[in-house]
Amino acid sequence: MRPLLYVVGETLGWFACILGAAHGRHWLGAAVVTTLLVLHLVTRATRSIRRILMIVFVSVIFGFCFDSLLILIGVYTPARWVLPAPLATIWLMVLWANFALIVDVPLGRLQDHLVLAAIFGGIFGPVAYLGGQRFGAIQIAEPAAFNIGVLTVAWALGLAALMFLARSLPDFAPSPRVRPEP
């Protein structure tokens, strides 16, 4: 049941980022994803807060470089907010932070199965960009079929690389919850 809750939260964060960007309310995604991150940290179960924050940090840096490269080579154009082209916008980095919240729980098995991660990324990465275009947050450049192919390859390699990075991060021991003495 818990992995399903993470996927629902990730989906909620995705829609908040995409619809916020599409309608000039870029702060909406940041507010929702920050709330999801706090909930994630509070309900972390046996996972370390340091590991969760490291995965978020690595994902945001990775995603910033990943999307900035895709923007630079002309694959797509996002709705701009704060940072100039060709840099990935703030709402895209928030989207990567949102994605990081499912890296260890629902997608955790992909860290040990990088080929499966590549297949998963090659399928669902472009679908997310097509959804972003449908809602008006991004515009995939013409020829669209070619650029969707680029997104397929980029996401196949990118998700496998991100899962490898997550697997390589230290697995900190969770900090014990302090209980007040009677």
CB 79, CB 22: distance < 8 Å? yes
Say if 174 falls within a structural domain: no
Say if 88 falls within a structural domain: yes
Nearest to 104 by CA among 6, 5, 1: 6
Say if 164 falls within a structural domain: yes
Average pLDDT score, the chain: 90
Full domain range(s) for residue 58: 2-168
State mean pLDDT over 94-104: 93
State mean pLDDT over 112-122: 96
Q: What integer pLDDT is reported at residue 178 of this predicted model?
A: 47
Say if 27 falls within a structural domain: yes
How many domains does one find in the chain?
Answer: 1
Q: What tokens were used for 12? A: 């909620």
- For 118-134, how does the pLDDT look when each residue is reduced to its tens digit (9 = 90+)? 999 999 999 999 999 99
Say if 14 falls within a structural domain: yes
**Is a pLDDT exceeding 50 seen at residue 169?**
yes
Phi, psi of 77 (to 5 degrees): -125, 125
Say if 182 falls within a structural domain: no
**Is a pLDDT exceeding 80 seen at residue 44?**
no
Calpha distance 112→164 (Å, rounded): 8
**Is a pLDDT exceeding 90 seen at residue 106?**
no
Identify the band that residue 83 occupies on the pLDDT scale cut at 50, 70 and 90: confident
Q: Would you call 86 helix, strand, or coil by DSSP? A: coil
Say if 114 falls within a structural domain: yes
Calpha distance 158→105 (Å, rounded): 19
Say if 180 falls within a structural domain: no
Nearest to 29 by CA among 71, 89, 73, 103: 89
- For 1-30, how does the pLDDT look when each residue is reduced to its tens digit (9 = 90+)? 577 888 899 999 999 999 999 999 989 999
